[in-house]
Structure 1
Amino acid sequence: MSRVLNVAVVGCGIGRSHIVEGYLPNADKFRVIALCDLNGERLDQIGDDFGIARRITNFNDLLIMEDVDIIDVCTPPGAHFSMVMAALQAGKHVVCEKPLVGSLQDVDAVMAQEKVSAGKLMPVFQYRFGDGIEQAKTIIDAGLAGKPYCGTVETFWRREAPYYAVPWRGKWKTELGGVLMGHAIHPHDIFTYLMGDIARIFGRVATRVNPIEVEDTISASLEMKSGALASFTATLGSVDEITRIRLQFENVTFESDHAPYNPGNKPWKILPRTDEIKASIDALLENWTPVPSRFQTQMARFHEAIHGQRPLPVTSADSRRALELVTAFYHSSSTHTEVTLPLGADHPLYGSWVPAEFR
């Protein structure tokens, strides 16, 4: 029988969502036994809200706690690499918020460490989970969708001055990027999860909305390895907020629910090209088991992966693909050239995409 795993949550901002959406609904699988945060007031608030007595301000103290099975890193992005590496070296399982790290060089170092560590690492891409995206993935994997033709991703969100009042936001050194890194990274991951790897990209980034260091508006034209074409657009200056993913395959059109922060959840629009394809899809989904969205399913599947019951639901390779897109995007925008993927250690931004003056 799979045992309950003890979790220490580091960072009580998004860490609250991990607790509420991920660990509490999976109380038969996880128990949060420790919190770590530099903000004592927030630490006590979250501890009191959820009855967590162990409250730590020094991350290194968690590494030597023998009863902690999982360290869940929910800190600002600039701190991820050192914490993930230390936790893996200490033999812990690790969950880490996006972006996993701040460069391809760092993600390659993490992947090398994984190979010699006892613990498993799961980056967070919670938008992958829910009925809509799961049904689309099932249809594609069954071969019913056919050849991919093209697709679009629109990430139209809204961020204003109160959002950037948090000191680490909007700054290269601590956030590591803007809408491309911290916001559109989720819908872009959904797209590649369903449509496969990117072959080439021509991208543009701009700071149009807010007085910040990093970008808040982006656009790109992409060619996928399958030959399909795609376009990505995102801004943090939208009046309303939507996330829209529309995919055109040979036999099926898919369109996501437009909920900005949970596009994978509700059943997607599925438009079969023929009655025969519709009948095959209906048969495939006839006994569908509902898939809880976001952190609830991702954490449940992580528990199963730790106990050898399934593969990891999100891997460091998935994070590398996301960060490779980010790297190529920034390079394309700054050089006004098309960038071919994959990117290796010889790429000029392999060590960092952050502009030199902000490192």
Structure 2
Amino acid sequence: MTRKLRVGVIGAGIAQRHLAGYNWNKDLFEVPVLCSLDEDRGRQAVAEFGVGEFTNNVETLFARDDIDIIDVSTPPDSHFEFSKRAIEAGKHVICEKPLFGSIADVDKMVEIVAKTDRKFMPIFQYRYGSGLQKLKRLIELGLTGKPFLTTIETHWWRGPAYYDVPWRGKWASELGGGLLGHAIHAHDMLNYVHGACAEVFAYGETLVNKIEVEDTMALSIKMANGSLAALSMTLGSRKEISRLRFCFADMVAESILEPYTMGRDPWVFTAGEPEHQAKIDSALAQYEVAEDGYTRQFELFHDAIVNDGEPPVTLEDARNSLELVTAAYYSQRTGQPTQLPITANHPLYTSWLP
């Protein structure tokens, strides 16, 4: 019989997407309690998703011995403290993006988790769209050839009303702007396909709204695997799109343009020669479709816990994405290319906040 894992959720905003993911995995998870300081929103989520109970006292979650996992879905500035306390209380942890406010915090969490038998999973659910998974499969089969260039566009719209929420648009509470909070999923997909970045040059500005943090950026990147990437992010696009395009020696992979589900089918995979196109088409015909998004990531985390395996998304994965952010902020401020990895002697290692 499948072992059900019990999840205590902190938060009532993005947490509702998580609750939907748990409900799609009812044979694997149950959610006995949700904690939120926003009582109206929290009680609404409890009722809508069939959560056992509501509390506004986070201390009770850490103290409970009937919870296996703490799900941290709160504003970014609270992620590290809640995650640390959950691990120290003997719980596994799921934590929303952006994970923490520095590379130093990621490295500290690696040390904290290493002293326990607990598992920690950052959220990067976009990885599990079937379009991106098909690209990963073609790479594994050796059908793509050498990587040349990746272009990623995260062009969304966020007007003044979005920033009416008190913690948004501020360095101290949101920890960053569109690069950190919006484009980070697409940029994780770059790392997921190609591995770590080697050098970043970035321009960033606040052009769209009267906020502290950036809302428009352009990045040029050298990848550690030798390929190049061009990333653009704006929250000032009246037509919202997300676009990923991967150019390899033997084929090109192109995502759909839907802004919030760009990892999903139908992606287009175009080979240079008819014979090679036939091999790609044959491989794709054998692809086994699975769940995607939070549903798939939670399913894989359940397997990692019950079978003592590696989480599907690791702290090292989150470090890669936050290294890109750190390097981009440093390049933006200095006007110079920034080398990666970001180590303890880097000026922004302990914080990129101005």
Deviation at 1:119, TM superposition (A): 1.6
CA distance in structure 1 between the aligned counterparts of 2:131 and 2:145, rounded to whole angstroms? 19
Equivalent residue, structure 2, for 1:74: 73
CA distance in structure 2 between the aligned counterparts of 1:141 and 1:204, rounded to whole angstroms? 34
The one-letter code matched in structure 2 to 1:233 is S
Answer yes or no: is the 8 Å Cα contact 1:88–1:118 preserved in 2. no
CA distance in structure 2 between the aligned counterparts of 1:52 and 1:250, rounded to whole angstroms? 50
CA distance in structure 2 between the aligned counterparts of 1:239 and 1:191, rounded to whole angstroms? 25
1:197-237 Cα offsets, whole Å, 9 max, x none, are 21111111110000000000000111111221111111000
Equivalent residue, structure 1, for 2:132: 133
Equivalent residue, structure 2, for 1:34: 33
TM-score for the superposition, normalised by structure 1: 0.96
Equivalent residue, structure 1, for 2:5: 5
Answer yes or no: is the 8 Å Cα contact 2:77–2:172 preserved in 1. yes
CA distance in structure 2 between the aligned counterparts of 1:168 and 1:180, rounded to whole angstroms? 16
Answer yes or no: is the 8 Å Cα contact 1:2–1:307 preserved in 2. no
Answer yes or no: is the 8 Å Cα contact 2:23–2:49 preserved in 1. no
The one-letter code matched in structure 1 to 2:19 is I
Deviation at 1:291, TM superposition (A): 2.4
CA distance in structure 1 between the aligned counterparts of 2:308 and 2:66, rounded to whole angstroms? 22
Equivalent residue, structure 2, for 1:104: 103
Equivalent residue, structure 1, for 2:19: 19
User: For 1:143, what is the secondary structure of its paired residue?
Assistant: coil
Equivalent residue, structure 1, for 2:201: 202
Deviation at 1:288, TM superposition (A): 2.0
CA distance in structure 1 between the aligned counterparts of 2:271 and 2:222, rounded to whole angstroms? 24
Deviation at 1:310, TM superposition (A): 5.1
Structure 2: runs of 5+ lacking an equivalent: none
Against the structure 1 CA distance between its residues 171 and 338, is the aligned structure 2 distance closer, same or farther, given a 3 Å change threshold? Answer: same
Answer yes or no: is the 8 Å Cα contact 2:87–2:113 preserved in 1. yes
Answer yes or no: is the 8 Å Cα contact 1:33–1:53 preserved in 2. yes
Pairing 1:1-359 to 2, within 5 Å after superposition? 1-20=1-20, 22-308=21-307, 311-355=310-354
User: For 2:285, what is the secondary structure of its paired residue?
Assistant: coil
Structure 1: runs of 5+ lacking an equivalent: none
Answer yes or no: is the 8 Å Cα contact 2:2–2:27 preserved in 1. no
User: For 1:285, what is the secondary structure of its paired residue?
Assistant: helix
Percentage identity across paired residues of the two chains:
45
The one-letter code matched in structure 2 to 1:6 is R
User: For 1:347, what is the secondary structure of its paired residue?
Assistant: coil
1:256-313 Cα offsets, whole Å, 9 max, x none, are 1111111111131100122232222233233322122211111111111111275321
- The ranges of structure 1 where at least 4 consecutive aligned residues each deviate by more than 4 angstroms after the TM superposition are none
Deviation at 1:111, TM superposition (A): 0.8
CA distance in structure 2 between the aligned counterparts of 1:268 and 1:195, rounded to whole angstroms? 18
CA distance in structure 2 between the aligned counterparts of 1:41 and 1:14, rounded to whole angstroms? 15
CA distance in structure 1 between the aligned counterparts of 2:121 and 2:271, rounded to whole angstroms? 34
The one-letter code matched in structure 2 to 1:330 is Y
Answer yes or no: is the 8 Å Cα contact 1:96–1:123 preserved in 2. yes
The one-letter code matched in structure 2 to 1:178 is G
CA distance in structure 2 between the aligned counterparts of 1:345 and 1:76, rounded to whole angstroms? 26
Answer yes or no: is the 8 Å Cα contact 1:264–1:293 preserved in 2. no
1:151-186 Cα offsets, whole Å, 9 max, x none, are 101000000111101110001011000000000001
CA distance in structure 2 between the aligned counterparts of 1:217 and 1:291, rounded to whole angstroms? 34
The one-letter code matched in structure 1 to 2:299 is A
Deviation at 1:53, TM superposition (A): 3.5
User: For 2:212, what is the secondary structure of its paired residue?
Assistant: coil
